[in-house]
Chain A
Amino acid sequence: MRVRLRFSKLGKIRFTSHRDVARMFERAFRRTGLPVAYSGGFAPRPKVSFGLALPTGAESVAEYLDVELSRHVDPAALPGSLSPALPVGVDVTAAAAVDGRAPSLQQEVTSCVWVVELPELGEAAVASLAGETLAARTLAATRERKGKPVTDDLRPAIISLTADGTTLTFELATQPRGVRPTEVLGVVRPDIEIGAVRRINQWIERDGARCDPMEVDPAATDAPERNEHVRAGSPTGGDLDAPVDPDGGLRLTQPRAQAAAG
C-alpha cells in the first residue's frame, strides 16, 4: 500500500536540506519498524518519494511524502509513532492511504503558498513592494542550470500576492517548475534582507477544484483495495465528493483568493 504523510519542519531544523530530511525519514521508518518496501537490485533503496524540495532555511507546515509499504498498516497510527522517532522540529501531522498508481507529488502539486517576513521594511514599503511586483509585466530571472545561465519570466508563476503588515503571502505555481518566493524578491528588490520564509500550503488542482494533497481520495484511506476497484472503472477518479468540472479544465479564481487569506 502507498501512504502519504504530511509533515512540518519548524525551528532550527529548517537549516537542514531536502536530502537531510529524506535521511531522517529513512532512519525513522527503520526505528519504528515500518514495513517499507525496498527496490530490488544491487543497492536496494526504500521506496519513498518526496514532493517539491523545500529550500534549505525555509520552514513549512505543508510538506508531503509518499512511502510504499510491503503490508497493510493503519495510517491513523503513523503521526503518533513517527514523530517521536524524528528530530525535534519535524513532526508528522497527517497520514492517509493513497492510490498506488496516482501520479507523484512532484507531478500533481500545482501551486504552493508561502509566507515571507520582511522585518527590516516598514509596512508601507512592504505594501508597495507587493503592488510593484504585481504591476510588473515580466520578471526576468537568470539562474544557472547545468553550468549555463538560463533566463525565464517569473511573473506568470505569481498566482496571488498579498501584503499584511511586514508579511507577504505568495501563491506561486509549481509547473513547469517550482518558483520560490526568494527568487521573485531577488528580481524585484535584490538588496533587501529577507526574514523567515514558511511554506503553508501545497495545492493540487484537480478537475477544477483545489485540494490538499492529503484529501486526494478519501475512499482510499481505509480500503485501498476497494479504491483500486473504483479507480479502475472510473476515469474521473474515485474522489466522489469532489466537485467535477465538466470541461475538465482548471478553475482558477475562487479557491486561490481564500488561500492567500490563510
Chain B
Amino acid sequence: MSASASLWPRIEPLLAKVQKPARYIGCEDGSQTPVHGPGKVAWLLVYPDAYEVGLPNQGLQILYEILNERDDAVAERAYAPWLDLEELMRARGVPLFSVDTHRAASDFDVIGFGLAAELVFTNLLNCLDLAGIPIHAERRDETHPIVVGGGHCTFNPEPLADFVDAFVIGDGEEAVGELTARVREWKTSGRTPGSRHNLLRELSHVDGVYVPSMYEVAYDGPDLVAVTPRYADVPEVVEKRTIADLGEWPYPKSQLVPLTEVVHDRLNVEVFRGCTRGCRFCQAGMITRPVRERPAEQVRTMVAEGLRRTGYDEVALTSLSSADFSGIDNLIGDIIDAPENCGQVSVSLPSLRVDAFGVGVASEIQKVRRTGLTFAPEGGTWRLRQVINKLIREEDLYGAVDAAFSQGWRRVKLYFLTGLPTELDEDTLGIAELARNCVAIGKQHNKSASVTASVGGFVPKPHTPFQWFGQNSVEELYRKIGLLRDATRHDRGVQLKWHDPKASLAEGLASRGDRRIGAVIEEVWRRGGTFQEWSEKFDLALWHDAMAAHGLDVEWYVNRHRHEDEVLPWDHVRAGLHKDFLWQDWQDALAEHGIPDCRWTPCYDCGVCTGYGIEHVVASSTPPAGGSQGTGQDLSTGGAVPVTLLPVGGRA
C-alpha cells in the first residue's frame, strides 16, 4: 500500500553470506520491473520452494505475463528463500521480497501461490510468516494482502483452507483478470474496515473460485458429513475453469531465462493441455481434460521466436504426453533441420510414451545430441498395467528401447510406481524382469548398455479413480523396494533407483486430507518442517508427532480404503468428472479392464466435455503409431464425438 522503497540495500549485504545468491537478484532475461500505482492491483506470484525449482514453473510465468500486460495490474515474483538466507532475514527483520524490484511482500495487494506439489504446503505458511502476514486467513484484515492459491494441488483445497483466502480451480489465464477487477475496486475504494469480508464474498461468485471461509464444515465423529455454503449467494459446488482454446493463449511469450542453474533450463513450449490416455493414477490427466492442442503453426512460431530470443540450444515440447501431439514427427524434424538452428538445437520430449516412440523419432532426436530418454511403463506386468490403464504391451516397450539403443543411446531410464492397487509381489518383481530384458536388448547394440529403473511410491490423488484406494504404508513400500533391490542385486546393467517412500505419508495426508489437516501442516511448520520436498529436510517424525498432537489417525486418513458413499473432502470442488464415472472406472480397474482414449474413440461420457460444453481440440483424429492405448483396437469408428478437428494448416 505504502509508497514502497526497494529493500535491496538491506538484502544486498546478506547475499554475500549465503549460498547461491543469484537466486535472489532477479535480472533474468524476460523479467519485468513494473511501475506500481494506486489504480493497479499488485500481484506477487510466489512459488513456495527454492528458486531453482520455482523459476521454471510455466504456470506462474504465464500469469506473470498476462497480468503485466493488463492496464489494471502489475505482477512480480518471489520464491522461498533458502534456509541460510531465511535465518539472516529473520535476524535482521528483512521480510519476504519480490525478486523483480525487491519490494516487501506485504506491499502487494494479492499474493498468489503456485501449488504444484503438496509437500510445499508448509513453505506456504513460512512465506506468509516471513512476509509478516498472519498465516490464518481469519486473522487478516484490510491492511493485509489477499492470499490466493492456484495449481493442481488446489483440486483438494481443504488442507490449506485455514490459510488461503481464495483458490482458483483449474486454468488461471482468464480467472486472474476477473479477480483483478474485483480487487481493484476494493483497492480504489480505500480498503475500508469490514470490506475484506465483502470482497471475499464477492470473489466467491467468480467462476472457478473457492473461498473456504464462505463454507461450513460438518463432521460426525471422524467422518466428514458436508461442506456447505454459509450464504445463499455462494455456490454449493465450485467448477474448475478451462480455457477452451490454447491457441488464444500463446504464453509465455518471453520465457524467463535464468542467470543461474535451475531445473528444466531450456525453452519450454506447451504443445497441448489435457490428456485422455486415462491413466488411473494420474491426477493431472484427470483434472485437465479435455485435450486442447496448440495449432502446429503456432508451436513452430513459438519455438523459432523463443530460440532466437533466449539463445537456448534445447527446446522441450511439453504436455502430459507429447508424443501424442498430432504430427509430432514432422514437428521435431522441422525444428532439428531448421537452417537457423545450425544443427545445434536439440528437442526433448518429457513424458514420452513408448507406444509412440519409434526409430523415426529416435533418429531425429539423436541428430543433435542424445538427451536423456525416460519411458514410463509405470507397472511391472501387463495385468497391473490394465489395472492402472497404462496399456503398454511388453512388445511396445521393447520396441521403443530397441529403437533407442539402435540409434546410439547407451542408457535408458524406466519409471515405475509401486504400491499400486491390487499389486502383488509378482507385479513388483516384474519391474526387475522388464529392466533385465531391456538391458539384454541394449547389449545387442552396445556392450555397455544399461537401464536405470526408477521407482516411486504411489500416492492416490483426488479426482482420480484411485481416490478411494488405501495407500500402502511406508513399511510396505520399503518392503517392496527391498524385494526389487534383492532381485536386481546381481544384474549388471540394471541400476535401481527409488524415491524414499517416507515422504509419501505426508504427501498422502496433504493430498486427501480434510480441513482438520490444516492444523497438522501448521504444527509441522511450527516445529521447523520447511522444504519438505527436499529429502535432506524431510522429517517423518514431525508428521507423526503433529498428527498425534491433534488426535488424528494416519491410518484413517491415508491407508484405509474409502467407501463409495463416503463424502470426500473435495466433493464440493469439481473437475467435471462425474463421481459415478470415477467409481465405475475404479471398479473396472479392480476387474483389470482398460478404457480407450476418447480423443480417438467414441465418448464414454466422463462428464467433462458434456458438462462444460467444451470439446477436444486436436489436429488429427488418427492416433499416433501404436494405436489407442497400444491395444490394436479398431479405431475406424472413433473420432465422431466430441472431437473437433483443427483446420489443416492451423492458425498462427
Task: Spell out A's residues near B (CB within 8 Å).
Answer: 12-13, 15-17, 19-20, 24, 26-31, 38, 42-44, 56-57, 85, 87-89, 194
| A16 partner, pick from B22, B29, B310, B344, beta carbons under 8 A | B22
Q: Main secondary structure on chain B at its contact with chain A?
A: loop
Nearest A residue to B16 via CB reads A57
| Binary A-proximity of B137-164 (CB < 8 A = 1, otherwise 0) | 0000000000000000000000000000
Chain B residues within an 8 Å CB radius of A89: 27
For residues 1 through 37 of chain B, which have their beta carbon under 8 Å from a beta carbon of chain A? 8, 15-16, 21-22, 24-29
Chain A residues within an 8 Å CB radius of B90: none
With A12-B26, A24-B259, A43-B369: A30-B15 Cβ-Cβ less than 8 Å: no
Nearest B residue to A197 via CB reads B16
| B22 partner, pick from A20, A30, A31, beta carbons under 8 A | A20
Q: When the two chains form their complex, are residues A16 and B311 in contact, meaning their CB atoms are under 8 A apart?
A: no
Q: When the two chains form their complex, are residues A17 and B22 in contact, meaning their CB atoms are under 8 A apart?
A: yes
Shortest CB distance B345–A (Å): 9
Nearest A residue to B24 via CB reads A15
Shortest CB distance A206–B (Å): 35
Shortest CB distance A253–B (Å): 35
Chain B residues within an 8 Å CB radius of A43: 369
Known: A20-B261, A87-B259. 13 other contacts (CB 8 A): A12-B8, A12-B27, A13-B25, A13-B27, A17-B22, A17-B260, A19-B261, A20-B22, A27-B310, A28-B311, A30-B313, A30-B344, A56-B21
Q: When the two chains form their complex, are residues A15 and B22 in contact, meaning their CB atoms are under 8 A apart?
A: yes
Nearest A residue to B307 via CB reads A30
**Bound state CA distance, A19 and B311, in angstroms?**
16
With A13-B25, A15-B25, A87-B27: A27-B311 Cβ-Cβ less than 8 Å: yes
A-B CB contacts (within 8 Å), total count: 59
| Binary A-proximity of B278-316 (CB < 8 A = 1, otherwise 0) | 000000000000000000000000000000111111000
**Bound state CA distance, A19 and B20, in angstroms?**
12
Nearest A residue to B18 via CB reads A15
Q: When the two chains form their complex, are residues A27 and B25 in contact, meaning their CB atoms are under 8 A apart?
A: no
Q: When the two chains form their complex, are residues A42 and B259 in contact, meaning their CB atoms are under 8 A apart?
A: no
Interface residue B502 (Cβ < 8 Å from any Cβ of A): no
**Bound state CA distance, A28 and B313, in angstroms?**
11
Shortest CB distance A95–B (Å): 18
Q: When the two chains form their complex, are residues A31 and B259 in contact, meaning their CB atoms are under 8 A apart?
A: no
Chain B residues within an 8 Å CB radius of A28: 311
**Bound state CA distance, A28 and B28, in angstroms?**
13
Nearest A residue to B310 via CB reads A27
| A26 partner, pick from B21, B261, B311, beta carbons under 8 A | B311
Nearest A residue to B345 via CB reads A30
Nearest A residue to B12 via CB reads A12
With A20-B260, A27-B257, A38-B344: A15-B15 Cβ-Cβ less than 8 Å: yes
Q: When the two chains form their complex, are residues B29 and A87 in contact, meaning their CB atoms are under 8 A apart?
A: yes
Shortest CB distance A32–B (Å): 8
| A27 partner, pick from B8, B24, B312, B370, beta carbons under 8 A | B312
Shortest CB distance B582–A (Å): 45
Chain B residues within an 8 Å CB radius of A24: 259
24 contacts between A and B (CB under 8 A): A12-B25, A12-B26, A13-B259, A15-B15, A16-B22, A16-B260, A17-B260, A19-B261, A20-B260, A20-B261, A24-B259, A26-B311, A28-B311, A30-B344, A31-B308, A31-B309, A31-B310, A31-B311, A42-B370, A44-B369, A57-B16, A85-B311, A87-B29, A194-B16
**Bound state CA distance, A191 and B370, in angstroms?**
50
**Bound state CA distance, A30 and B314, in angstroms?**
12
**Bound state CA distance, A56 and B259, in angstroms?**
13
Shortest CB distance B447–A (Å): 16
For residues 248 through 295 of chain B, which have their beta carbon under 8 Å from a beta carbon of chain A? 257, 259-261
Shortest CB distance B312–A (Å): 7
Chain B residues within an 8 Å CB radius of A12: 8, 25-27
Task: Spell out B's residues near A (CB within 8 Å).
Answer: 8, 15-16, 21-22, 24-29, 257, 259-261, 308-313, 344, 369-370
Q: When the two chains form their complex, are residues B21 and A15 in contact, meaning their CB atoms are under 8 A apart?
A: yes
**Bound state CA distance, A225 and B360, in angstroms?**
45
Chain A residues within an 8 Å CB radius of B16: 57, 194
Which of A16, A20, A44, A57: most chain B Cβ within 10 A? A16
With A12-B27, A13-B259, A20-B261: A57-B15 Cβ-Cβ less than 8 Å: yes
Chain B residues within an 8 Å CB radius of A15: 15, 21-22, 24-25
Shortest CB distance B144–A (Å): 29
Chain B residues within an 8 Å CB radius of A27: 257, 310-312
**Bound state CA distance, A108 and B168, in angstroms?**
59
With A27-B312, A28-B311: A20-B259 Cβ-Cβ less than 8 Å: yes
Shortest CB distance A61–B (Å): 19
**Bound state CA distance, A87 and B25, in angstroms?**
12
**Bound state CA distance, A87 and B311, in angstroms?**
12
**Bound state CA distance, A89 and B21, in angstroms?**
16
**Bound state CA distance, A213 and B300, in angstroms?**
43
**Bound state CA distance, A57 and B19, in angstroms?**
11
Nearest B residue to A86 via CB reads B29
Chain A residues within an 8 Å CB radius of B24: 15
Shortest CB distance A22–B (Å): 11
Nearest A residue to B23 via CB reads A15
**Bound state CA distance, A43 and B344, in angstroms?**
10
**Bound state CA distance, A7 and B313, in angstroms?**
23
Q: When the two chains form their complex, are residues A29 and B311 in contact, meaning their CB atoms are under 8 A apart?
A: yes
Which of B15, B27, B28: most chain A Cβ within 10 A? B27
**Bound state CA distance, A216 and B23, in angstroms?**
37
**Bound state CA distance, A65 and B296, in angstroms?**
40
Chain A residues within an 8 Å CB radius of B261: 19-20
Chain B residues within an 8 Å CB radius of A42: 369-370
**Bound state CA distance, A250 and B298, in angstroms?**
63
**Bound state CA distance, A29 and B261, in angstroms?**
18
Chain A residues within an 8 Å CB radius of B370: 42
Chain A residues within an 8 Å CB radius of B369: 42-44
| A88 partner, pick from B21, B27, B310, beta carbons under 8 A | B27
**Bound state CA distance, A85 and B310, in angstroms?**
9
Shortest CB distance B426–A (Å): 39
Shortest CB distance A166–B (Å): 16
Nearest B residue to A58 via CB reads B16
Nearest B residue to A19 via CB reads B261
**Bound state CA distance, A177 and B312, in angstroms?**
34
Shortest CB distance B177–A (Å): 30
**Bound state CA distance, A89 and B29, in angstroms?**
12
Nearest A residue to B308 via CB reads A31
Chain B residues within an 8 Å CB radius of A44: 344, 369
**Bound state CA distance, A85 and B261, in angstroms?**
19
Shortest CB distance B446–A (Å): 13
**Bound state CA distance, A60 and B309, in angstroms?**
27
**Bound state CA distance, A43 and B408, in angstroms?**
13
Q: Which 9 A/B pairs are nearest by Cβ-Cβ distance?
A: A27-B311, A15-B21, A31-B311, A30-B311, A12-B25, A16-B22, A20-B260, A15-B22, A16-B259
Chain B residues within an 8 Å CB radius of A88: 27
Nearest B residue to A41 via CB reads B369
**Bound state CA distance, A56 and B309, in angstroms?**
26
Nearest A residue to B311 via CB reads A27
**Bound state CA distance, A88 and B30, in angstroms?**
12
Which of A17, A28, A38, A89: most chain B Cβ within 10 A? A17
Shortest CB distance B97–A (Å): 13
**Bound state CA distance, A19 and B260, in angstroms?**
8
**Bound state CA distance, A43 and B29, in angstroms?**
26
Shortest CB distance A183–B (Å): 15
**Bound state CA distance, A88 and B29, in angstroms?**
9
Shortest CB distance B76–A (Å): 15
Chain A residues within an 8 Å CB radius of B309: 31
Q: When the two chains form their complex, are residues B21 and A57 in contact, meaning their CB atoms are under 8 A apart?
A: yes
**Bound state CA distance, A38 and B25, in angstroms?**
32
Shortest CB distance A71–B (Å): 13
Chain B residues within an 8 Å CB radius of A29: 311
**Bound state CA distance, A217 and B542, in angstroms?**
65
Shortest CB distance A162–B (Å): 24
